[in-house]
Amino acid sequence: MTRKQRRMTIIGGSLAVLALAAALVLNALRDSIVFFSTPTMVAEKHVAPGKRFRLGGLVQPGSLQRGDNLAVTFEVADGSAKLPVAYKGILPDLFREGQGVVAEGALDANGVFKADTVLAKHDETYMPKDVADALKKQGHWKDDYGAQASGGAKPAATTAQGSPQGAVR
Amino acid sequence: MIAESGHYALVLALGLALIQSIVPLIGARLRDAALMSVARSTALAQLLFVGASFVALVMLHVNSDFSVANVYENSHSMKPLIYKITGVWGNHEGSMLLWVSILALFGGLVAAFGNNLPLSLRAHVLAVQAWIASAFYLFILVTSNPFLRIVNPPIEGRDLNPVLQDIGLAVHPPMLYLGYVGFSISFSFAIAALMEGRIDAAWARWVRPWTLVAWIFLTLGIAMGSYWAYYELGWGGWWFWDPVENASLMPWLAGTALLHSALVMEKRNALKVWTILLSILTFSLSLLGTFLVRSGVITSVHAFATDPTRGVFILLILCLFIGGSLSLFAGRATSLKQGGLFAPISREGALVLNNLLLTVACAVVLFGTLYPLAMEMLADFKMSVGAPFYNLTFAPLFALLLLAVPFGPMLAWKRGDLLGVTQRLLAAGVASLVTVAIVWGWVRGGSALAPLAIGLGVFVIAGAVTDLVERTGLVRLPFATVLHRARGLPRSAWGTAFAHAGLGVALIGIVCETTWNSEYIATMKQNEVAHIAGYDVKLDGLFQRQGPNYREMIAEFNVSRDGAMLSVMTPSKRSFTTRGSSTTEAALLTRGASQLYISLGDATAEGAIAVRIYHKPLVLLIWWGPVLMAFGGVLSLSDRRLRVGAPKPARAKPRLQPAE
């Protein structure tokens, strides 16, 4: 093989791997990306049942009900809309009524959000950043959260795995 | 006084770094040995001063001096001593100080042990180190000074985030930083080579040990962090594809590629330009990781906008170093002489394939990490890219890589014989197929993916073993000869085998854990028994206990199997009064490589408690794999070939050379 042919083989191989990776990424982007919504956005956009997304907002005070076998229901509110959420399992340590929460799952036929994952921040602000931003945008931002959120050091971010999200399945 | 001394020492370190940035370069230009040697003394003095500064911060934390804002925000007088010390880097300012301390440590090591480097190369390398150091000293002093005082000192501190009050914090961040920052050395060598316009195989011989050291620490650091998350976060997950984790994975992928391409450069004097580029990219990814973690941009681009000073500062450093080094590369790379021809099917070719797949996998992770940020910034909608994305993209690429791994070390340099290698790997292939069949039959159907992946893991391990068998002549030669050959085999060959086998081991662990993990989640009352994976887990009772700075609720479980009592497990839930938050301390019972994992949820009013019990088959393999890899790295590091400036072997080479 001449030098040129060898070079072409290597370049061709590289391009093949790159094309493969690009195809994989494009394929994955089609159906493995999860979007973030607030109850208001869900109400406005009419999200189809069964479509997975992340729901963020505040846990409506007084809405938490524990059923049998670790089944829980609560409502997630963002000031202008509310959405009932059903979940089965253990809630994270930092889950509180009136505090921020992010749940991942999909709507069922009755418009109840069936969550299979509930995320809460492992820091003292109890306010996931996604939720804070969404609330700020809608003007439902309480100053005390703001003070906490900006004043709170983020020690959890120091390490790769003392990472700020703890998830519960 | 201590805080002021620490601050002062840091300023002095900055001054020294600035001298080190400029004077050696002037010396190199004027060919003045004295000026070039300035780099050595300043690097050592810099290490001394930044070390003093770090010790000062540790002392402030140990003494619980709450007049210092950093101590007030992250410490508590009741906190156990070990967490007072580890809490130093459990926060932004302290961890940046640890970062620069380790940077200075590596600079100091080059200065102390680089006596046999050409004088001008050493001067250049240390000057580049000093540029990085200066930038980060400035960053600390301007935006995140850990020594700031509070005007009215409070009596008590706010305590460290309870999740971080764990032995993991003592080990994980220093290890990770030793890895991250260790790649600065290969970066500095690359820039020095570009500035000097000279690069040869000797350059690769100097760079490889440093890269290897950084790689070993990074491997252990990532594995340690993963195990920490596994037992601390309470739901048994060990990798979340969270941007902070990706930030450490990307330099690891690029660094692994660099290790392999430096090998080609050292042995065959080829892939020079590519090796230089990889050195730059690896450290750039470390810097990018630092930026992602430290700027707050990960949690939200808006968080970045609310407190932009730190983020913008690191972004500037990032642009300066990545942009600068890549422009230098673009300008100078063509002047480096190319060398070393090889056929596509050869050891070099295999290493190119390795590099290709690793860098592409790294690019995929980079894309997955930055894409949500870009979309939020440009299109203003939020999304998350999680495990499903990486399973569809990263996993196939890595599977291809693993398939190729056993072939690489068995191919000859320059021109390899793929057919011959395939024949020699036949036994490994058969072993892997048999495993697939056995696993498939044992689980009776189900997803075909898991048995195939385990077969792949077995193939990688068997391939590593085959390589050793071939080299020592086991089976076909008399035993004494085999022993003799094994002793004569370069340590790096053993290192390769261990590191590659480690990959297979980790893969098997990952597949077993994710596929056959069984879980039991329910509320349990006293004397209730849970059955999981053949174990009977009985709740004996709940107790309260007072810890040094927390209250703890402990549940005692009796674990038995087939009526025989095995052990008592005591998971607990700690509530920390100062921060008003709680942590879940899981209990682990290790049986071989498998683990039983219990963590607690909330107690109900009737005295029952929510419990999560997992049985995780072969889960420990996930971390034994990286430990094996790191061990392989250490073996390779102890190879005499890599000992910088090691004298030529005194003995005549043994007559029986292992077949390369």
Identify from B235, B286, B297 which residue to disrupt to test chain A contact, counting A C-beta atoms within 10 A and taking the largest count. Answer: B235
- Name the most confidently modeled range: A62-76, B40-54, B549-563: B40-54
Contact B173/A159, CB-based, under 8 Å?
A: yes
> With contacts defined as CB-CB under 8 Å, which chain A residues touch B367?
25
pLDDT in the model for residue A133? 64
Identify from B144, B175, B356, B393 which residue to disrupt to test chain A contact, counting A C-beta atoms within 10 A and taking the largest count. Answer: B393
A window 101-160, beta carbon within 8 A of B: 122-124, 129-130, 132-133, 136, 150, 153-160
Inform me whether the C-beta atom of residue B98 falls under 8 Å from chain A C-beta atoms.
no
Inform me whether the C-beta atom of residue B303 falls under 8 Å from chain A C-beta atoms.
yes
Decide if pLDDT at B652 tops 90: no
A46: exposed, middle or buried (Cβ count in 10 Å: 0-12, 13-18, 19+): exposed
pLDDT in the model for residue B9? 97
pLDDT tens string B45-56: 999 999 999 999
Place of tokens 């250049």: B124
Give the CA distances from residue B360 to residues B89, B282, B290, B396, B402, in Å, rounded to whole numbers and listed in that order: 33, 13, 21, 11, 14
Q: Which residues contact B144 (CB under 8 A, 6 or more apart)?
A: B92, B93, B96, B310
B202 confidence band (pLDDT: 50, 70, 90): confident
Identify from A25, A26, A161 which residue to disrupt to test chain B contact, counting B C-beta atoms within 10 A and taking the largest count. Answer: A161
**3-class state of residue B530 by DSSP:** strand
State the average pLDDT for chain A.
73
pLDDT tens string B326-346: 999 998 887 776 666 778 888
Decide if pLDDT at A149 tops 80: no
> With contacts defined as CB-CB under 8 Å, which chain A residues touch B90?
155, 158, 162
Name the residue with higher pLDDT: B233 or B398. Answer: B398
pLDDT in the model for residue B163? 80
Decide if pLDDT at A123 tops 80: no
d(CA A20, CA A23): 5
Decide if pLDDT at B554 tops 50: yes
pLDDT tens string B79-126: 999 999 999 998 889 999 999 999 999 999 999 988 888 899 999 999
* Mean pLDDT, residues B398-404: 95
A98: exposed, middle or buried (Cβ count in 10 Å: 0-12, 13-18, 19+): exposed
Decide if pLDDT at B381 tops 80: no
Contact between A57 and A73 under an 8 Å Cβ cutoff? The reply is: no
> With contacts defined as CB-CB under 8 Å, which chain B residues touch A1?
343-344
Supply B635's token pair.
């073996």
pLDDT in the model for residue A165? 36
Which range (B58-62, B199-203, B488-492) has the least confidence? B199-203
Kindly identify which residue of chain B lies nearest to residue A12, measuring between CA atoms: B344
Decide if pLDDT at B189 tops 80: yes
> With contacts defined as CB-CB under 8 Å, which chain A residues touch B225?
159-161
d(CA B49, CA B29): 28
A93 confidence band (pLDDT: 50, 70, 90): confident
Inform me whether the C-beta atom of residue B225 falls under 8 Å from chain A C-beta atoms.
yes
Classify strands A33-37 and B594-603 as parallel, antiparallel or unpaired.
unpaired
> With contacts defined as CB-CB under 8 Å, which chain B residues touch A123?
161
Query: Measuring CA to CA, which residue among A121, A111, A120 is closest to residue A156?
Result: A121
Looking at residue B271, what DSSP letter applies? -
State the average pLDDT for chain B.
89
Inform me whether the C-beta atom of residue B235 falls under 8 Å from chain A C-beta atoms.
yes
Inform me whether the C-beta atom of residue A52 falls under 8 Å from chain B C-beta atoms.
no
Which pTM value belongs to this model? 0.89
Decide if pLDDT at B4 tops 60: yes
d(CA A62, CA B26): 71
Contact B293/A158, CB-based, under 8 Å?
A: yes
What is the number of CB-based contacts under 8 A between chain A and chain B?
201
- Within its chain, how far is the Cα of B333 from the centroid? 29
Contact B602/A130, CB-based, under 8 Å?
A: no
Query: Measuring CA to CA, which residue among B217, B266, B201 is closest to residue B106?
Result: B217
Classify strands A113-121 and A82-88 as parallel, antiparallel or unpaired.
parallel
Decide if pLDDT at B644 tops 90: no
Decide if pLDDT at B651 tops 80: no
**Rg of chain B, C-alpha, whole Å:** 27
Decide if pLDDT at A11 tops 80: yes
pLDDT tens string B449-482: 899 999 999 999 999 999 999 888 888 888 888 8
d(CA A38, CA A22): 32
pLDDT in the model for residue A80? 81
pLDDT tens string B526-538: 899 999 999 999 9
Name the residue with higher pLDDT: A33 or B483. Answer: B483
